[in-house]
Structures are given as C-alpha cells and as structure tokens.
C-alpha cells in the first residue's frame, strides 16, 4: 500500500548492520490542520525484523518517531546471502513487509 522500504544489510565479520528507511507520514496527533481540527495520530506502531524467516527483533514505536522513519540495528551471525525481512504495522492496522539480502 505504501511506498517500499529501503533496506540495506551489510555484513562485516560476524555482525550485519541493517539500515531501513520506511515511507510513512508518522502523524503525531499533535498537529492541527488549517481548519483548526487536530490531525489524528497515524504512525507505525510495531516493527519486526526477521532473518531467514525467524523473527530477531521487534519494536514498538510511539508518535514521536520522525516521518519516513529510519532504523538501524545489528544482527549477530548473519552472513552474505541471508534474507532480512522488515515488517511494520501502523496504528490503523496497515502493514508492509520488505525484504533484502545481506551483502
């Protein structure tokens, strides 16, 4: 539904650094539109990452995370060719999954 995430996973020794850039408005629920009505909160609420199908990281985000969120984390023991998938769910129930291969 939304634009694809950009995922980069680079292995250095036995650690793989994964950088993800997600496309999402991340409305905090604090802004008001021109008519003075508060724009409702719309943000990614859960993120999970899996390595070759096994979940290795989960996160919960609040409205403070910036628009088009950036996330960086490190996986131990992944190697080139492994598949890293990142999945997010927002507070309206929309979700998106994208995958990248460790290089």
CB of 37 to another protein, least distance (A): 17
| Interface residue with another protein, options 92, 99, 101, 103 (CB under 8 A) | 92
CA–CA gap between residue 4 and residue 18 (Å, rounded): 16
CA–CA gap between residue 44 and residue 41 (Å, rounded): 10
Site for another protein in 7-36 (CB under 8 A): 15, 26, 28, 30
Residue 77 burial (CB count, 10 A): 11
Region of 52 (left: φ > 0; alpha: ψ -120 to 50; beta: rest) is left
The answer to the question of residue 73 lying near another protein (CB under 8 A) is: yes
| Interface residue with another protein, options 62, 80, 81, 101 (CB under 8 A) | 62
CB of 48 to another protein, least distance (A): 7
| Interface residue with another protein, options 72, 81, 101, 103 (CB under 8 A) | 72
Cβ atoms of 83 and 101 within 8 Å: the answer is: yes
Residues contacting residue 54 through CB under 8 Å, at least 6 positions apart: none
Binding interface with another protein (CB under 8 A): 15, 26, 28, 30, 45-46, 48, 51, 54-67, 69-77, 87, 89-93, 95
């Amino acid at each position: 539904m939304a634009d694809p995430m950009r995922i980069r996973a680079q292995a250095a020794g036995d650690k793989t650094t994964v950088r993800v850039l997600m496309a999402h408005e991340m409305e905090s629920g604090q802004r008001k539109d021109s008519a003075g009505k508060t724009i409702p909160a719309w943000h990614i609420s859960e993120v999970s990452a899996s390595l070759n199908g096994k979940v290795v990281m989960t996160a919960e985000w609040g409205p403070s995370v910036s628009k088009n969120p950036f996330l960086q984390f490190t996986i131990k023991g992944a190697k080139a060719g492994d598949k890293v998938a990142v999945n997010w769910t927002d507070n309206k129930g929309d979700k998106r999954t994208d995958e990248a291969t460790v290089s």
